[in-house]
């Protein structure tokens, strides 16, 4: 067994896209909270305590959506209390919680996706089908840290020149606009230089060859088959109405038909599978270290 990030990019891509797509296009609270649990488990399994600082605003976003929806939407028949002549209903509160779980869970899934699917993996994934798309994705991911580093360098240079003498909001806004203007010019110039360099190296002249260090092994095939089967089962159950939830005008009970329970179980396995693989490999590595 190996860590989830060490599997073939094809298997990792379809697994994350499958579980995230269900979380994005379904409003069943149980499915959404399974997605949130799986996304959070994978993120913290990979980042540990260091991830707390990075996602510290996620709980705040969840609370804002959970509290904001009943303040602006007053639909529902179960009135909890009245605030400034506006009824706060149980249905709006539950809908806000579901929306918060959907947004935060999706953010967590794609944060882990950006950490695992590096530019070389994206190039391997899309290189054969669409080399131009793979090149655009890899260059975009490369320019994000370069842009950030260049912006910090420009900001430090302006401070050294004494352009931030007055430490107030207007002065910081002017400095930010200067940095943004410099960065636009830098990005355009860097793009022209990159294009000239690629032309000089013969890009687009002939058919491109492809090399990849990734190999598709039996364990990758098993993960891919399991991800596709669980995703297909979940979407089939959603299409057949085995799962689903109605918030308005009154809350509908979670469906407990045999097919519905099977769909919940399948999606639970799918959402927790990446974290299980990641944690099992970490535990195996620690046990081997302790045995030395």
- Domain ranges across the chain: 4-123+214-290, 143-200
Cis bond before residue 184 (omega within 30° of 0): no
Residue 207 vs residue 65, higher pLDDT: 65
DSSP H helical ranges for 161-244: 169-200, 218-239
- pTM of structure: 0.71
Q: Does residue 225 surpass a pLDDT of 90? A: yes
pLDDT per residue over 6-33, tens digit each?
888 889 999 999 999 888 888 888 888 8
**pLDDT for residue 98:** 84
Give, for 80, the enclosing helix (H) or strand (E). strand 79-83
pLDDT per residue over 54-76, tens digit each?
777 788 888 888 887 777 777 77
pLDDT per residue over 95-129, tens digit each?
888 888 888 888 888 888 888 888 778 777 776 66
- Across the strands, what pairs with 79? 89
């Amino acid at each position: 067994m190996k860590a989830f990030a060490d599997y073939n990019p094809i298997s990792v891509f379809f697994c994350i896209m499958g579980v995230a797509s269900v979380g994005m296009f379904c409003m069943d609270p149980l499915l959404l909270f399974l997605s949130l649990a799986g996304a959070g488990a994978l993120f913290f399994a990979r980042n540990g305590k260091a991830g707390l600082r990075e996602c510290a605003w996620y709980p705040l976003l969840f609370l804002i959506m959970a509290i904001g929806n009943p303040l602006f939407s007053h639909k529902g028949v179960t009135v909890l209390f009245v605030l400034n002549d506006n009824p706060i209903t149980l249905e709006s509160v539950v809908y806000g919680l579901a929306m918060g779980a959907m947004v935060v869970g999706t953010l967590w899934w794609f944060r882990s996706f950006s950490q695992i699917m590096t530019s070389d993996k994206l190039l391997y994934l899309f290189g054969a089908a669409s080399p131009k798309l793979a090149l655009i994705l890899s260059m975009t991911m490369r320019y994000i840290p370069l842009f950030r580093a260049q912006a910090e360098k420009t900001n430090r240079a302006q401070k050294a020149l004494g352009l931030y003498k007055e430490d107030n909001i207007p002065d910081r806004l002017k400095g930010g606009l200067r940095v943004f203007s410099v960065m636009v010019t830098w990005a355009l110039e860097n793009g022209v230089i990159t294009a000239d360099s690629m032309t000089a190296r013969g890009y687009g002249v002939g058919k491109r060859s492809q090399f990849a260090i990734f190999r598709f092994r039996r364990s990758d095939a098993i993960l891919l088959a399991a991800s596709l089967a669980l995703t297909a089962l979940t979407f089939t159950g959603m299409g057949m109405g085995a799962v689903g939830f109605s918030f308005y005008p009154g809350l509908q009970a979670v469906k407990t038909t045999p097919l519905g329970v099977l769909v919940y179980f399948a999606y639970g396995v799918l959402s927790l599978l990446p974290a299980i693989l990641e944690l099992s490999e970490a535990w195996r590595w620690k046990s081997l270290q302790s045995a030395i």
